């Protein structure tokens, strides 16, 4: 909230009045009131909620929408040099036909400097193509021909880098569900290819794209590996600082403007990885406000589902997991999940189901998981399917739905026999705990459950392992061992 108040107080009077009037014109009176209150009055959030007559969830939804409206307005006010330059490039033919050669060359050369500065490879090919033609009778013709060929290659390199970015994070999603060593190797090969591409060109755009992949790879693929052989690499903190400098230097570049969220997220993951939680919190609030946007629009530049795992792990660490259910009501307001992106969809639904579980809404959690199993097929990722079914089995157990529980556990056990007990050791132990919970014997249930929890293996064959996000503490044991849990037995 402090960050939104700070943004509002720093608005110029003209910007504030324009935003306020646009809210009034669009009948968003509550948002307009909130904007004015934060700028002109020193009121607490609780007092503002009282005056608006809204509850906590509605207030945070209102706050989130106001912040989005302000940012949309500020973005529209930005004089985007990329757009301006591209318009000028589109007029080059007109310049060639209507201006004297010396003026045409001078104009195009000025554009060349601006395009080089912003690393716009596509437009530079048009510049050198035009300069080449204007110098067809000059010794400079060879120079511009060389520049044209060089930037054609550079343009293709940037396109290739963008394609590799998208391919890396698509493949990481597949790897997260399968744990396949071949896919892990392919991820490493993509990073090596990105390294080679970066070494061929002195380009801040390629550096930024490369950083999206390299930082994520070091945090989530190399995290358990000995990387001493690569100690000569730039430290992650230095890379993040260098990217910050680039984004700040070209702060009007539209792509860089949006990639700020990606690097705020990577900073969060970096500090979370090394358990520097105080610094991680600095970035958590910013990323959390844009959870739905991150999931919807940033899969080409990072792997957004990982944030949901980090978010739930943080809640478990701070003891705030029960609050996630209410928070989700405004964070995911308007979010439309993409069922074609299976890894993201599976992660999103299991996250929502676990939030329901921690809020005590077991029937709603079961609906989320059942809808997931009906919407997408997980036959190609059998262990991930077991993880999902195990979460569903937990809900059935707590709902006292023994028929559905027994059917589901039988299905899980058949799949375990196919995959092998050594691969599914954690799922096997998890189902044993649930079976003790529903057993007729009421003696020493808590002790038996605790004994199995102590033996529960930490390692899983996949990154996607929602059973590891089930907190197996005293509360968990109490839920599963109370005699009144199963009154029909």
Give Cα 353 to chain centroid, integer Å: 19
Helix (H) or strand (E) segment spanning residue 326? helix 324-331
Locate the domains of the chain by residue range.
2-77, 304-485
Helix (H) or strand (E) segment spanning residue 141? helix 140-178
Q: Give me the pLDDT at residue 435, please.
A: 94
pLDDT band at 122 (very low <50, low <70, confident <90, very high): confident
Q: Give me the pLDDT at residue 79, please.
A: 53
Direct distance between the N- and C-terminal alpha carbons of the chain, in angstroms, rounded to an integer = 50
- Other Cβ atoms closer than 10 A to 64: 17
104-116 burial, b for 16+ CB within 10 Å, e for fewer? bbebbeebbebbe
User: What is the rounded CA–CA span in Å between residue 96 and residue 108?
Assistant: 9
Placement of tokens 């690393």 in the chain: 119
User: What is the rounded CA–CA span in Å between residue 33 and residue 9?
Assistant: 14
Residues 203, 119 contacting (CB under 8 angstroms) = yes
Tell me the pLDDT tens digit for each residue of 300-336: 999 999 999 999 999 999 999 999 999 998 889 878 8
Placement of tokens 């935003």 in the chain: 19
Q: Is the pLDDT of residue 186 over 80?
A: yes
Q: Is the pLDDT of residue 487 over 50?
A: no
Q: Give me the pLDDT at residue 5, please.
A: 74
pLDDT band at 236 (very low <50, low <70, confident <90, very high): very high
Residues 245, 257 contacting (CB under 8 angstroms) = no
Tell me the pLDDT tens digit for each residue of 271-288: 999 999 999 999 998 899
Q: Give me the pLDDT at residue 243, please.
A: 97
User: What is the rounded CA–CA span in Å between residue 157 and residue 163?
Assistant: 10
Q: Is 281 left (phi over 0), alpha (psi -120 to 50) or beta?
A: alpha
User: What is the rounded CA–CA span in Å between residue 254 and residue 250?
Assistant: 9
User: What is the rounded CA–CA span in Å between residue 201 and residue 163?
Assistant: 17
Tell me the pLDDT tens digit for each residue of 72-104: 777 666 555 566 777 888 889 888 888 899 999
């Amino acid at each position: 909230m402090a960050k939104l108040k700070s943004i509002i107080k720093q608005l110029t009077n003209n910007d504030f009045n324009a935003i306020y009037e646009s809210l009034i014109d669009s009948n968003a009176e509550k948002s307009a009131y909130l904007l004015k209150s934060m700028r002109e009055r020193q009121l607490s959030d609780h007092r503002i909620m009282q005056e608006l007559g809204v509850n906590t969830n509605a207030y945070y939804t209102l706050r989130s929408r106001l912040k989005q409206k302000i940012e949309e307005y500020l973005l529209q006010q930005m004089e985007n040099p990329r757009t301006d330059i591209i318009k000028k490039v589109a007029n080059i033919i007109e310049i060639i036909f209507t201006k004297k050669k010396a003026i045409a060359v001078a104009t195009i050369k000025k554009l060349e400097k601006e395009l080089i500065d912003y690393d716009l490879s596509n437009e530079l090919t048009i510049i050198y193509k035009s300069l080449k033609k204007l110098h067809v009778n000059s010794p400079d013709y060879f120079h511009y021909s060389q520049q044209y060929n060089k930037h054609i290659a550079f343009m293709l390199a940037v396109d290739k880098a963008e394609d590799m970015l998208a391919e890396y994070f698509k493949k990481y999603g597949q790897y997260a569900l399968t744990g396949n060593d071949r896919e892990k190797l392919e991820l490493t090969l993509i990073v090596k290819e990105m390294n080679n591409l970066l070494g061929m060109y002195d380009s801040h755009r390629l550096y930024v794209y490369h950083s999206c992949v390299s930082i994520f790879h070091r945090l989530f693929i190399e995290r358990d590996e000995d990387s001493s052989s690569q100690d000569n690499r730039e430290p992650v903190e230095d890379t993040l600082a260098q990217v910050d400098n680039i984004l700040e230097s070209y702060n009007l570049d539209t792509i860089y403007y949006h990639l700020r969220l990606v690097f705020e997220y990577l900073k969060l993951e970096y500090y979370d990885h090394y358990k520097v939680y105080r610094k991680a919190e600095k970035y958590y609030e910013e990323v959390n406000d844009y959870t739905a946007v991150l999931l919807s629009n940033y899969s080409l530049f990072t792997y957004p589902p990982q944030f949901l795992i980090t978010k739930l792990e943080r809640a478990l660490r701070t003891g705030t997991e029960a609050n996630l259910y209410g928070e989700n009501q405004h964070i995911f307001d308007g979010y439309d999940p993409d069922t074609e992106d299976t890894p993201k969809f599976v992660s999103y639904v299991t996250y929502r189901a676990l939030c329901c579980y921690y809020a005590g809404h077991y029937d709603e959690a079961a609906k989320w998981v059942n809808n997931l199993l009906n919407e997408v097929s997980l036959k190609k990722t059998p262990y991930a399917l077991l993880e999902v079914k195990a979460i569903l089995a937990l809900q059935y157990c707590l709902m006292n739905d023994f028929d559905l529980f027994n059917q589901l556990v039988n299905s899980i056990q058949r799949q375990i026999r196919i995959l092998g007990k050594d691969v599914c050791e954690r799922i096997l132990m998890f189902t044993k705990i649930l079976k003790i919970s529903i057993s007729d014997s009421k003696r020493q249930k808590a002790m038996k459950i605790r004994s199995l929890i102590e033996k529960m293996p930490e390692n899983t064959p996949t990154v996607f392992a929602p059973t590891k996000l089930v907190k197996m503490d005293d509360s968990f044991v109490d839920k599963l061992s109370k005699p009144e849990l199963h009154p029909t037995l």
